Amino acid sequence: MKEIMPPSEFHRPRSVWTYLPRDGWRLLAVSMLCAALLATVGIARAYYNMSKEHPAAATVRSYLTALQEKNLSEIDEYIGHTAGKMRFLNADAANTDFSIHEIALIDTGGMLELTAEVAVTIGAADGQKSTGVFRVEKDPDTSKWVITDPYTKITFGDTGVGRIAVNDHVFAPPDSVARGGTFALYPGVQRFHDIESPWMTRHVEPMLTLNENILLDGDGTEGRFLLNEAGDAELQGLVDEYIDACVEKSESDLLPRRCPFGLDVDMHRYYRDFKSPTWSVVDYPVVTGVDSGGYFRVQNRKAGTIELSGTAVESDGSEKAVTLTCPIHADLMAFDVDADDVMEILPDEMLSVPGTC
């Protein structure tokens, strides 16, 4: 019969360390230490890659920082080919007093990562914020990232003052070049059409821009030019002279061309003809000017009147001497101011006179 040993005498298995030779457990310890070290390095590398800014976003940051520091000579390093007139890409037109609030990579254009989109928010001292998205491309040969849409694009309509302006840069286009057109601007705080003139004032609200497209077409009332006291006086003199010139040239003319008064005898209720007409001003209109975008319209503060004297032919053919009082339609006249601050009436922009008295 097999003898059963008591539990206290069971053979206890020895630890794995017991079976390893001394060099073996040292090797195992070194291997475990290396594994722990590699794991630590991997975690550190992953954290570094997560915290490191993508080169496309870094390019946008460098571009905006160069603008903030007014290092305009460095900017070409960060931008690719762009379209638009470059006249306002200079220190006088640049007002880059903005702060960078956020720069974030939002798209890398697929596995090849040859394009990227970077969202940006900047702010101005007055509390304005502007948010936009820059498109950045990677040159496959040089691996350099460049911004393809770095500028604000501004399209000007005709201003009626013979020039356009961004911040401290004023440009007077030649007559052969339309005042409209799209121009490139550096992102920043913009003052559009802040133009000094002896005849007018203009309230200009600064606008913070990034890389958006802006159209100034002159249709809105905000920011229009307003004649000052000297401008009203200058315009008043021009309107009076223009009316006098119309009176002088309108002998025997009931409806003088390009003049703010007249009689269309076909519209008169009592007379079918009018012989030997003579015009004479009774009261000149009191006027000011209104910016209508592209040029100015004359506006009556007080209407003027003019008299028409002559021989009227009535519907039955009889004739009699009459004097009619007619309105002066100064509010149908237009004018502009050229780049040298010369104010001028625009006869070609005269609206049609009703021709009633």
**pLDDT computed for residue 41 by the predictor:** 41
**Measured distance CA(285)–CA(240) in Å, rounded:** 8
**pLDDT at residue 228 greater than cutoff 90:** yes
- Do 188 and 168 form a contact (C-beta atoms < 8 A)? no
Q: Binning pLDDT at 50, 70 and 90, where does residue 34 land?
A: low
Q: Binning pLDDT at 50, 70 and 90, where does residue 37 land?
A: low
Q: Is residue 323 classed exposed, middle or buried when 0-12, 13-18 and 19+ CB atoms within 10 A define those classes?
A: exposed
Domain ranges of the chain: 53-224, 227-349
**Measured distance CA(203)–CA(168) in Å, rounded:** 15
Question: Could you tell me which residues come within 8 angstroms of residue 49 by beta carbon, excluding any fewer than 6 positions away?
Answer: none
The rounded radius of gyration (Å) of the Cα atoms in the chain is: 40
**pLDDT at residue 30 greater than cutoff 60:** no
User: DSSP assignment, residue 80?
Assistant: -
Question: Could you tell me which residues come within 8 angstroms of residue 34 by beta carbon, excluding any fewer than 6 positions away?
Answer: none
**Measured distance CA(107)–CA(251) in Å, rounded:** 75
List the single range of 91-100, 158-167, 328-337 with lowest mean pLDDT. 158-167
Residue with the bigger pLDDT between 61 and 170: it is 61
**Measured distance CA(16)–CA(14) in Å, rounded:** 7
**pLDDT at residue 110 greater than cutoff 70:** no
Range 113-121 average pLDDT:
93
Measure the N-to-C terminal CA separation of the chain; round to a whole number of Å: 149
